[in-house]
């Protein structure tokens, strides 16, 4: 094996790594957000947790992704520590799917079916199909799925081609005595586990290191005695991703990372002890037999399945071991878990940045919470105008402060997330949320101003005439509907509902204008005082501003689908050329007409 063959092998390794990365990212984009939702809600039963962890990891092609996801969920308070054990065990089982797929490249023979089962046979066709999907996709959401599927196909093809190149380049090593002696060193269990652990910790992917070991096995110089320690070490080395994710997290998140480490370390010790005890009593001839690609995949699967089978019944002891390892420090004892911290800092965990699709889902859920808070704040504020309740005032102000925190944390989180190379659809979601959260915060601000006006009414014992009270109820009903409508449209991404927001906002503008004119007439006729008038106009101004922000939200939702945020231009055009606008406007005009 000369220097040029080494260069070619490095090129094959580069293609292998890139293909693995591209395949994983494509699969994550296609299904990552759905899979994380499954893990969040359905892991109370440990056995089900194992199954779900295995399925999710097999689809995402990465146990590191699953375990980092789990650490983030625990840190966010979404998942309890005891729930993580089954998922982590399942993740180790799920990661064994990749070596089985890679082992198919070692299938040789002239039989048609044997050749068809070898992925390298049809990898070029998959690459071409992926390229066609990429070329045919465009910026629309539906077509972005084609792009993601194209990435998956191209990633798989590149992965197989890289594997094929590496296998071809190591063939000369089959006759190398130096390589054979080097491999024999790894038959020492301690050295083999150590090397497997270090290499995997550096690469941070057991699937990649198992794949490299499988290519080396094609030389015929890898025996079972060499492969077993290396595979056990690779399983331990892959824990580095979860340990890194636990840095700076809360104690339960760090404990979840330790559970992953303990699972693999205890499993490796148990596996080796059992094996070498049996070996001292029974002759194990196969240890000196050469192992192929499928043999390596089989050892990997056997180790993870056997370890899960042994440790799952005593999973509570793993939790206790992790709890004793990561204890509560003095800082955490003094720390107070405020509602704001729980709602914002924990949910928006930066550990999810490694998987932008999942991070965007967390940001969406946080923005939905923010929207609901401002909706409750506004509803409570208008209730104070006619029926003042002292205890409600503090709640409204607390909700407004929470929206301030949400805007600050969400804005910072999303700006950083936008630099993590999200998908096209992910970038749209980030832009949409960034545009809308300021409007949510402003609606909460106006809710406090409405509350202050209500407090003034209460303090000064101001009462409106029957006519003025009836007018306020009409406009309050209209503004309540536009708030509910815009927030529902945002949470559900309901564009038809969003298209109704602007017509209703126009009706509210006209209502407020008419009510000001009527107020002036009452002033002229001496039917109300100037003090009543100031309060009346203040309420109308805040209602109108709230409707304006709802209009911004509705317009933003529609414009986000067109990758355009020229709201003023859009709003002026929709009033002139959109037939639905006129129809909805007339409906709302009748619904909220003044007597």
What is the tens place of the pLDDT at every residue in 273-331?
877 777 777 666 667 788 888 888 888 898 889 888 888 888 888 888 888 888 765 45
Among residues 452, 459, 358, 435, the alpha carbon closest in space to that of 397 is found at 452
Angstrom distance (rounded) from CA 437 to CA 555: 14
Residue-level pLDDT at 542: 94
pLDDT tens digits, residue range 3-20? 877 788 888 888 888 887
Distance of CA 131 to the CA centre of its chain: 27
| Tokens of residue 423, six digits | 């998908």
Domains in the chain (CATH in brackets) are 3-327 (no CATH), 337-461 (1.20.58.220), 463-595 (1.20.58.220)
C-alpha 502/C-alpha 272 separation (Å) is 69
156-189, pLDDT tens digit by residue?
A: 888 888 888 887 887 777 777 777 788 888 778 8
Q: Is the separation of the CB atoms in 162 and 212 below 8 Å?
A: no
Write out pLDDT tens, residues 395-440.
999 999 999 999 998 999 999 888 877 777 788 889 899 989 999 9
Q: What is the pLDDT of residue 329?
A: 56
pLDDT attached to residue 38:
64
Structure pTM? 0.69
Stretches in the chain below the pLDDT threshold 70 = 1-2, 31-44, 61, 76-78, 106-118, 138-144, 248-249, 282-286, 328-347, 354, 561-579, 595
Which ranges of 170-249 does DSSP label H, i.e. alpha helix? 177-185, 189-203, 206-217, 224-237, 240-246
Q: Which pLDDT score, from 0 to 100, does residue 475 have?
A: 93
Q: Are 218 and 296 in contact (CB under 8 A)?
A: no
371 close to 440: Cβ distance less than 8 angstroms = yes
- How high is the pLDDT of residue 337? 43
pLDDT, residue 284, reads: 64
Buried b (16+ CB within 10 A) or exposed e, 283-310: eeeebeeebbbbbbbbbbbebbbebbee
242 phi/psi in degrees, rounded to 5: -65, -40
Give 471-476 contacts, CB < 8 A, sequence gap 24+: 471/515, 471/518, 471/594, 472/385, 472/386, 472/515, 472/536, 472/539, 473/386, 474/511, 474/592, 474/594, 475/508, 475/511, 475/512, 475/515, 475/540, 475/543, 475/592, 476/382, 476/385, 476/543
- Between CA 355 and CA 25 the distance in angstroms is 8
């Amino acid at each position: 094996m000369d220097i040029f063959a080494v260069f070619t092998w490095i090129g094959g390794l580069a293609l292998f790594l890139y293909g693995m990365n591209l395949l994983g990212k494509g699969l994550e984009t296609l299904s990552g957000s759905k899979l994380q939702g499954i893990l969040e809600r359905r892991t109370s039963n440990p056995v089900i947790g194992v199954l779900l962890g295995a399925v999710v990891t097999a689809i995402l092609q990465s146990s590191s992704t699953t375990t980092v996801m789990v650490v983030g969920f625990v840190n966010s308070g979404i998942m309890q520590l005891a729930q993580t054990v089954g998922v982590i065990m399942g993740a180790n089982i799920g990661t064994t799917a990749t070596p089985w797929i890679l082992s198919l490249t070692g299938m040789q023979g002239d039989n048609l079916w044997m050749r068809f089962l070898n992925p390298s046979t049809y990898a070029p066709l998959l690459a071409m199909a992926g390229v066609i999907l990429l070329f045919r996709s465009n910026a629309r959401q539906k077509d972005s799925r084609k792009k993601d599927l194209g990435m998956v196909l191209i990633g798989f093809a590149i992965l197989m081609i890289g594997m094929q190149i590496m296998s071809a380049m190591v063939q000369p090593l089959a006759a190398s005595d130096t390589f054979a002696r080097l491999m024999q060193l790894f038959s020492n269990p301690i050295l083999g586990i150590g090397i497997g652990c270090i290499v995997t910790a550096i690469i941070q992917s057991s699937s990649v290191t198992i794949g490299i070991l499988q290519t080396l096995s094609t030389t015929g110089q890898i025996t079972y005695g060499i492969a077993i320690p290396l595979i056990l070490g690779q399983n331990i080395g892959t824990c580095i991703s979860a340990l890194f994710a636990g840095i700076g997290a809360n104690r339960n998140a760090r404990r979840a990372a330790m559970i992953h480490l303990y699972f693999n370390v205890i499993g490796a010790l148990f596996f080796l002890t059992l094996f070498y005890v049996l070996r001292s009593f029974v002759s194990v001839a196969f240890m000196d037999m050469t192992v192929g690609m499928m043999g390596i995949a089989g050892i990997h699967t056997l180790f993870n399945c056997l370890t899960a089978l042994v440790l799952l019944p005593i999973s509570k002891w793993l939790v206790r071991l992790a709890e004793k390892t990561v204890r509560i420090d003095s800082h955490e004892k003094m720390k107070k878990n405020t509602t704001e911290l729980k709602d914002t800092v924990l949910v928006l965990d930066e550990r999810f940045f490694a998987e932008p699709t999942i991070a965007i889902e967390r940001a969406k859920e946080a923005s939905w919470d923010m929207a609901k808070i401002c909706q409750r704040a506004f509803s409570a504020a208008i209730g104070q105008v006619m029926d003042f309740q002292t205890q409600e005032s503090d709640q409204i102000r607390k909700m407004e402060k929470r929206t301030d925190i949400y805007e600050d944390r969400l804005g910072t989180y999303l700006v950083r997330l936008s630099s993590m190379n999200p998908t096209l659809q992910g970038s749209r979601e980030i832009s949409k949320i960034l545009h809308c959260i300021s409007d949510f915060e402003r609606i909460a601000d106006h809710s406090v101003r409405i509350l202050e006006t209500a407090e003034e009414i209460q303090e000064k014992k101001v009462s409106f005439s029957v006519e003025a009270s009836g007018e306020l109820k009409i406009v309050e009903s209209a503004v309540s509907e536009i708030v509910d409508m815009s927030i529902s449209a945002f949470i559900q991404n309901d564009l038809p509902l969003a298209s109704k927001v602007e017509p209703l906002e126009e009706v509210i503008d006209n209502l407020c204008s008419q009510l000001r004119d009527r107020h002036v007439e009452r002033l002229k006729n001496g039917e109300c005082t100037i003090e009543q008038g100031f309060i009346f106009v203040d309420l109308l101004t805040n209602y109108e501003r709230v409707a304006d922000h709802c209009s911004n939200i509705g317009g933003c939702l529609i414009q986000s689908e067109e990758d355009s945020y020229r709201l003023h231009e859009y709003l002026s055009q929709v009033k002139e050329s959109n037939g639905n606008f006129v129809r909805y406007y007339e409906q709302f005009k009748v619904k909220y007409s003044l007597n």
